[in-house]
Chain A
Amino acid sequence: MMTSPVDRREPIKLGAFLIEWFVRLAGLSTIGFVILIFFFLLREGIPALFEVPLSNLFGTAWYPTFGYYGTIPLILGSLLVTLTAVVIALPLGIASAVFVREVAPNWVREVLKPLIEVLAGIPSVVLGFFGMTILVPAIRTLLNIPTGLTAFSGALVLAYMALPTIISVAEDALDAVPKSYRDAGLAMGATRWQTIWRVVVPAARSGIVTAVMLGLGRAIGETMAVMMITGNAARMPLGLDALFKPVRTMTATVAAEMGEVAQGSVHYHVLFGIGIILFLVTFVINLFAAKSIFKKRYRGGLR
């Protein structure tokens, strides 16, 4: 039996209409949630600005029990651990991505790719365990320092956590480089390595920046492993040896203290203030990541 064109078109139109609105709603609700979270943070955190003098809030001492709410050591702690992690993970990640995509024989690549994805899925508390039982003692004996619970240990574990993200995103970026660029490089007499470093990697630059940004975003927000192995001493991480002493990060502070504060207290408001800072930092990082993704698309269109 034949259905007339009109019969067939109506439900499709309605379906398309519903789907379109569902998609739109889903998209809008995401934006809504982000805004909602931000306003919640603001509502709980802004009072801190009125309850604590700015000189105290941006001071160098964090002793909430005695009314010292200096967030600078925490911010610097986070920066120190995160940036060190990136400095470690960046060359390793790019080198691994180049290895997986450009150097490894096919069967090695087939084994490595799923393995890397498994790495990305390891819960951070497990890495924390690993860090506490193996990495921390190892660092203490190797460097001969009083405690292995240091910023450096935390950075190592964070680097390890950021690596899978960096590797897979960077690898995709390398994969997207057209073969014609490689051919051009080789045909110009460049060796395979020269072609990789001077043609393929620069061509994948924007994707690699995205990879690093996403890795950075993961590292700065990470809490569990960091709390377990950085020692959590809220001291100013100044001086060259700060890397090898305990530090405390923003995330670890919030996680450790939120359970013990009275709702609505000054301490509670300051912790939310820290949340606002974290939110803004990750927001800016992701904005950069998104921008480089966008650039890549634009370039892709010209190819």
Chain B
Amino acid sequence: MSAKFAVRDLDVFYGRKQALRKVSLEIPEHQITALIGPSGCGKSSFLRCLNRMNDTIPNSRITGQAFLDERDIYGTDMDVVELRRRVGMVFQRPNPFPQSIYDNVAFGPRVLGARQFGRLDEVVETSLRGASLWDEVKDVLHHNALSLSLGQQQRLCIARVIAVRPEVILMDEPASALDPIATLKIEDLMHALVEDYTIIIVTHNMQQAARVSEQTAFFMVDDDQVGVLVEYGPTREIFTHPRDARTEGYVTGRFG
């Protein structure tokens, strides 16, 4: 299996507070990798390192290395705009822009230079189809995106991301604000998307991790309240034969 991301000895700091220590792992291509762990253990921080969204947080600092296809994400020759096009992100709360559905999906192509993505109308349609939203919105493309239900908004955010044809989609608890049915739709969508994309999802929902992911990484804070990677491996292993007692405690619901 080829690694999409390779992370080595990654530390993340916010000011003087260290959020992650010495995280090393390799994330395979075209699979769904789940990041689980109790609140505050640095899952989101880890995720934000992969598209350098941590750069937008004042006082944040990282050391260590992270590679995308063997290219240093923090290297001087890495263009952040290009990185973020290749590594898209879906947030916990659906955050479509208060613009039309069409404009939301067209945002990325417009900003990055529409020409390289083909005809805008087609991009919008393919992306909405890709996010299983087309049939629901094809007649209201010019309505405000905020008039959609939360679940639809989240799928719109996914459509917005895939409009720029990324290679990776990072999802930070994408279903935690949604009802069970909307959640299942997102999970089905992930299964469909993994054909073309590498997906990394943070989730608090143990069943969700078990349902959707091939690999699972379990994070936890150590005695200094710094997040560490406790265990990482195939999801089945993590849930049925965890090697670490802390992992076992967490996945069986004894704490966290």
Contact = CB atoms under 8 A, between A and B. Distances in A.
Interface stretch (A19-27, A38-46, A57-65, A181-189): A181-189
A178 B95 contact: yes
Interface stretch (A7-15, A29-37, A195-203): A195-203
Interface stretch (B17-25, B105-113, B195-203): B105-113
A184 B95 contact: yes
5 contacts: A180-B93, A181-B95, A184-B91, A187-B88, A302-B146
B88 A188 contact: yes
A157 to B, nearest CB: 36
Interface of A: 178, 180-181, 183-191, 194, 198-199, 202-203, 299, 302-303
Interface stretch (B78-86, B133-141, B213-221, B240-248): B78-86
B116 interface: no
Interface of B: 51, 53, 56, 80-85, 88-89, 91, 93, 95-99, 107-108, 110-112, 146-147, 157, 160-161, 164
Given A189-B111, A194-B111, A198-B107, A183 B164 contact: no
B84 A203 contact: no
A180 B93 CA distance: 8
Contact of B56 (A183, A302, A303): A183
Contact of B97 (A187, A191, A203): A203
B235 to A, nearest CB: 26
A178 B85 CA distance: 22
Given A180-B93, A181-B97, A189 B56 contact: no
A203 B104 CA distance: 12
Contacts of B51: 187
A202 B99 contact: yes
Contact of A189 (B91, B96, B98, B112): B112
Contacts of B98: 181, 202-203, 299
B81 A187 contact: no
Contacts of B89: 187
Nearest to B166: A189
Nearest to A106: B58
A181, A187, A190, A302: most-surrounded residue (chain B CB, <10 A): A187
B56 A188 contact: no
A186, A198, A302, A303: most-surrounded residue (chain B CB, <10 A): A186
Nearest to B107: A188
A256 B39 CA distance: 70
B97 A184 contact: yes
A50 B33 CA distance: 83
Contacts of B56: 183, 186
A190 B111 contact: yes
B97 A189 contact: no
Given A198-B111, A203-B98, 8 more contacts: A186-B56, A187-B84, A187-B89, A188-B88, A189-B84, A199-B97, A199-B107, A203-B97
Contacts of A199: 97, 107
A190 B51 CA distance: 13
Contacts of A181: 95, 97-98
A104 B160 CA distance: 30
B187 to A, nearest CB: 22
Contacts of B110: 198
B84 A188 contact: yes
Contacts of A186: 53, 56, 84
A296 to B, nearest CB: 10
A189 B111 CA distance: 8
Contacts of A299: 98, 146
B112 A183 contact: no
A189 B53 contact: no
Nearest to B89: A187
A184 B85 CA distance: 12
B91, B95, B110: most-surrounded residue (chain A CB, <10 A): B95
B146 A188 contact: no
Contact of B146 (A183, A189, A194, A303): A303
B164 A189 contact: yes
A208 to B, nearest CB: 13
Contacts of B99: 202
A178, A180, A203, A302: most-surrounded residue (chain B CB, <10 A): A180
A181 B95 CA distance: 6
Contacts of B91: 180, 183-184, 187
B95 A180 contact: yes
Nearest to A206: B98
A301 to B, nearest CB: 10
A184 B89 CA distance: 8
Nearest to B86: A189
Contacts of B108: 188-189
A30 B137 CA distance: 46
A184 B158 CA distance: 11
B161 A189 contact: no
A186 B110 CA distance: 14
Given A188-B164, A189-B84, A189-B112, A183 B53 contact: yes
A262 B93 CA distance: 68
